[in-house]
Amino acid sequence: MDAKDSNGTILVEGDSVKLIKDLKVRGSSTALKRGTLVKNIHLTSDAEEIEGRVDKTMMVLKTMFLQKV
């Protein structure tokens, strides 16, 4: 199954995406702001999640909150 962003565009390994919504980070008091760019994403075994590095921290993000750049 292919990972798709919020618009239905297929995501592939190494794509860049941006957040379309402010997201709270679990276990932290910080939040990721809308428009934050995540470069060089990695696909996971779950089609609804990707891994990406944000501010030198590897995070798992839901594809429903992402848009391919």
The CATH number of whichever domain residue 42 belongs to comes to 2.30.30.40
Give me the domain span that covers residue 31.
17-68
Share of the chain above pLDDT 70, in %: 100
Q: Is residue 9 part of a domain?
A: no
| pTM for this entry | 0.92
Number of domains in the chain: 1
pLDDT over threshold 90, residue 63 = yes
Assign 1 a pLDDT band (cuts: 50, 70, 90). Answer: confident
Q: Is 68 left (phi over 0), alpha (psi -120 to 50) or beta?
A: beta
Name the percent of the chain lying above pLDDT 90.
94
| Residue 2, in any domain of the structure | no
Would 34 be classed as within a structural domain?
A: yes
Is residue 42 within 8 Å of 50, Cβ to Cβ? Answer: yes
